Copies of this chain bind each other. A is one copy, B any other.
Amino acid sequence: MSTIARNQWYVAAYGREVGRELFSRTICEEPILFWRTEAGEAVAMSDRCVHRRYPLSEAPSRLDGDKVVCGYHGFTYGSDGGCVFVPGQARVPRTARLRSYQVVEQDSFVWVWIADPQNPQQGDPTRIPRAPWMDSPDYTVVSGMEPIDCNYGLLVDNLMDLSHETYLHGGYIGTPEVAETPITTEIDEDRNVIYVSRHMDDAECPPFYSKSTGIEGRITRWQDIEYTPPCLYLLHSRIAPIGAPLPGDDGSDPHAFHSEIVYAITPSTENSTLDFWAVARDFAVGDDTVTTFLAENNRTVVMQDVVALNILQKALDTEKDGYQELSINIDAGGLGARRILKKLVDAPQAVTAAAVG
């Protein structure tokens, strides 16, 4: 029984990853070929030739203008997946067509619609959740992608419960206050969004923020999570020196430092996950030293998660007869996420709400 929700939009790549080279990613167990037409449009189609299922992403397969030529027997496809040439005969069979995928480029991501084979629906691009900071001129972004050898649910668990920052990311983004401070959790069952907030009024400033903002003393630190299952996770992070004014009623907040931490959580297979991560900041936006520091520091933090989740999945794989977990208050967000994910798996309809805008 699959744990992966279908009839959903997923991030398959950054736009910068898709170009004039054939590029393959397995998304929700489906091998998908991505490339960009000569006119610059990103397209996606099955990465398996209809003839004998040779992967079109493997050499000597190649792009020939806006056509893909299979490297095994030369079956040739257009950008819509339709076959336009087969060897040894003039007639191209009517059914020779690669499955093609709906693609939307938005907020620097390439989103792809993964339909449910039992109950396929069209994807509605207006329901893709937003992360506008990713390509906003007011923000500077560092980003990357790391594959993890675990079920995507372990990454959801990880990100919904930030108490782990204190232990797994101590010395980077974790301080004692993260584990100590109680959270508030809100689950919007209609829009399928989960909110987890932790507001620390008087906290140590971890190196990630002290080095990037220049703050030397203690801080108020707000972590406001907004997760739109299955794929988009946002952590609105607000850091300010203690005593700095609160945000104004109009939303202005000139005395604080804001980071929009964005994760796209994409199941590749049941036991492998694509972890797209980004940090968008509204401070020191032109400071390359800060950019380099945050890129390296955040990648280190992501890799701490990757290593831990690889270990955890291996441990779970050796459990023979299922296993028990013990959940506490900090797990409210993670358990809510599991419940919504199960609902999406059981009723694969396009219920994803449009996210914060």
Contact = CB atoms under 8 A, between A and B. Distances in A.
A38 interface: no
Given A71-B168, A88-B182, A329-B89, A157 B308 contact: no
> For the complex formed by this chain, how many copies does it contain in all?
3
7 contacts: A52-B325, A53-B312, A54-B312, A60-B168, A73-B179, A88-B329, A96-B326
A65 interface: no
B161 A73 contact: yes
Given A53-B312, A316-B53, A87 B166 contact: yes
Nearest to A96: B326
A75 to B, nearest CB: 9
A330 B88 contact: yes
Interface string A76-98: 00000000001111000101100
A277 to B, nearest CB: 19
Contact of A326 (B50, B74, B87, B170): B50
A33 interface: no
Contact of A58 (B72, B87, B179, B311): B311
Contacts of A179: 73-74, 87-88
B312 A51 contact: no
Interface in A298-313: 308, 311-312
A55 interface: yes
A151 interface: no
Nearest to A117: B321
Given A52-B157, A179-B74, A315 B88 contact: no
Contacts of A70: 167
B163 A87 contact: yes
Q: Which of A52, A60, A89 has the most CB of B within 10 A?
A: A52
Interface size bracket, A side: 35 or more
A25 interface: no
A243 B182 CA distance: 83
A24 to B, nearest CB: 10
Q: Which of A51, A74, A170, A325 has the most CB of B within 10 A?
A: A74
A323 B157 CA distance: 34
A164 interface: yes
Instruction: Please give me the 4 A-B residue pairs with the lowest Cβ-Cβ distance, nearest first.
Output: A87-B179, A87-B163, A88-B330, A50-B326
A215 to B, nearest CB: 25
A325 B53 contact: yes
Contacts of A50: 324-326
Contacts of A52: 157, 312, 325
B311 A55 contact: yes
Interface string A166-198: 111010000000011111000000000000000
Contacts of A315: 31, 48, 53-55
Q: Which of A51, A88, A164 has the most CB of B within 10 A?
A: A88
Interface in A308-345: 308, 311-312, 315-316, 318-320, 323-330
A11 interface: no
Contacts of A86: 328
